[in-house]
Structure 1
Amino acid sequence: MSIRERLSGNEAIATAMRQINPDVMPAFPITPSTEIPQYFASFVANGQVDTEFIPVESEHSAMSAAIGAEAAGARTLTATSSCGMAFMWEVLYVAASNRLPIALALVNRALSGPININCDHSDSMGARDAGWIQIYSENNQEAYDNFVQAYRIAEHPSVRLPIMICQDGFITSHAVENIELLEDKEVKNFVGEYNPESYLLNSKQPMSVGAYATVAFAMEAKRAQLEALKNAKQVTLDVAKEFAELTGRKYGLFEEYKLDDADYAMVIIGSSAGTAKDAIDALRAEGKKVGLLKIRLFRPFPAEEIAEALRNAKVIACMDRTESYNGQCGPLGAEVKSALFNTRLTPEVINYVYGLGGRDVTVESLTSVFEDLIKIDETKDTGEKYRYLSLRD
């Protein structure tokens, strides 16, 4: 039976954490994710969970403690944002290479500099090649649902990798929305108990974690890690199917919105997808065939499936909420172009950089993107293929 609530995205994530009742949470505060460990610490103090909460001295320490706890056999999670994630950088790779299914609630915020505390995706996109599973949320309901599903994906025997559940800082993290929660027992039953095969505190099976990889083994370890990450794609779908049976809320690798017959498609990540849907509804009312593909799973990147979903589009806009400084495309643009190229699809692809440092994303601004795509198709003149949206003169 669902519970109707009004929660911010941070409250929703903290509630999911409480219902999971993990063994260990090391955390260090940073805006805009600070509320997550704050709420969770109150759950610990009130006896609502029996989690060991560790207030550490830095984000590097938070992830290091998470690695130690998870390696010891404890289900572990933490939360961070922006420069906090950057401070974790070294140990993000360690967590993934050691195949530790840690869950991280990442509240997306711009990396400095210039100093800025608002939303863009530079933190998670900067860590996209660390070997973590990455799932993005459009709204508070998705943030909650994604976190409930996180451990089922990360702890699967064919995966065993860390996972970050991302949501947009201040946009969803602090905005209050009506959402549906599961009963505590339903979450506990869905997630299940953590029973690792190998862990440091198992005296019957001595092992080491993080041992030096010599030349003879380093590449093989990386390849095994890649295969595990690829396995996460099907596991994500399998877990989503079970979640849909429990809740009626369906999730996939991505969401298609009025995309079937769309000549002009937008590919986007996060909260701006909701704004894009409003723009699409208005343009559809004018008879314009526009549609949306909203990425949910970014790592592993579902290239074949995305290429198939975009097969009929004439012109595509890839929307990157970060700057890669290659002058050609952003991270999402690079992934989508590669997917299309590998399947020998050749639509026009325009890459837009938008929303950096919290720049407003409006129905009007995203409508202008679709108008650009229509004009390109009509005139056959692509113009600049790498553009900034809503840039002041």
Structure 2
Amino acid sequence: MKNHHTVKINFKGGIISPGELMDILNIASQWGVKQVRFGLRQQLLIDVEGGLVDKLAANLDALDIIYEIDKDDHPNIVSSYPAEEVFINNTWLGEGVYKDILDELDHNPKLKINISDSNQSFTPLLTGNINWVASPSVPHFWHLFIRFPKTNSVFEWNEMVYTNDVSNLSKEIESIIYRFPDQFIDKEIVNGEKLFSLIKTDQFITKPVSGKMVLPDFNLPYYEGLNRHNNKYWLGVYRRSEMFPVAFLKNLCRLCLDTKVGQLCSTPWKSVIIKGIEETDKQLWGDLLDKHQINMRHPANELNFQVQDNDYAARKLKNYLVQKLNTFDARTFGVCIGIKTQKKSEIFSSILIRRKPLFELFGKEIFHVYDILCAKDFNPNERTGTIFISNISRLHLASELQKAVLWFYKNRNKKILPSQLT
């Protein structure tokens, strides 16, 4: 937006205190902010008029709230905690373990850190630089995947790490990577073993990995609406525009505080989830949605898109494609569709739409075309690099995307690559 600045506030693991969020929203509304957003890494994004951003920042400073303006030098720590007890069952990784790890990660990391249960596909496992994935069979031990900065190189360490060492080893890895950027940052080939040879790993509790971890199949749950879980309810709120009215979120925070709901969660789908709603309070939450005209039950082919933050062109393209898919009456269940417009960015997707210029003139991109790529086995936690079709125009993009989705359904259980098709 012209003459606007974006203030970013991280909530570690996507866990948000209603009281703290209320304080932030009060400051934002004081300086004319009517709507806020949540980002792919579960952070809060506030767009502020240029002349007011310093005043808003001064108010945040007075409350000791950490923020960044128009930059992301310290990416948020992503976690699968929002899915805990809602989409994840039969796992050793509970609320207490998440919060212990997040509390111990008391530095302000410059690398992206993901903390994920292996028994879920709601949140991405490997979109971070330091990716911790809970062992499905050994309680309190974690598999470790390193995606080196500004590369497509992912290294799986051959040791699992004990829960209590996740924080300290994360700090050590970041320290080594930035100490030797010529070896580990923006390189086509990176030696993961070299990284760990520079770390005194004997100071951490580890176990050998018997073999490469099998990543879970992707199955995106329907993440909005007021839903029953055991003897309580959870509420998921998605906004087509990505914008949440400040007035609505203020009332949501008040209701959390009044009904003793101690937290809400932001998700990598730019939505929010409130867990632990009592049966006796269900009507109050319905009334809140009615009061602010918050729509529920969007079509699945809209909910399964991943779009970069602060990218108006990608969001506009998403809306265009959703309309076209609805016109086709297309089914997209089980597919995560990503849109990528920037180089060296990571988008969680089964099927990726990559925009690129047909040519450049004096540094300006001229006439965009699109590639459609597919992740290995259509699992968005795998690498997205197999090209389905290249260099298509926007006019033909929706129909080719539909073909890619149909190909997914036809071959999802065969696990073959496009090049193997005849």
Same fold (TM over 0.5): no
The TM-score, its normalising length taken from structure 1, stands at 0.33
The TM-score, its normalising length taken from structure 2, stands at 0.32
Q: Which has the higher strand share?
A: 2
Larger RCO: Structure 1 or Structure 2 (Cα < 8 Å, ≥ 6 residues apart)? 1
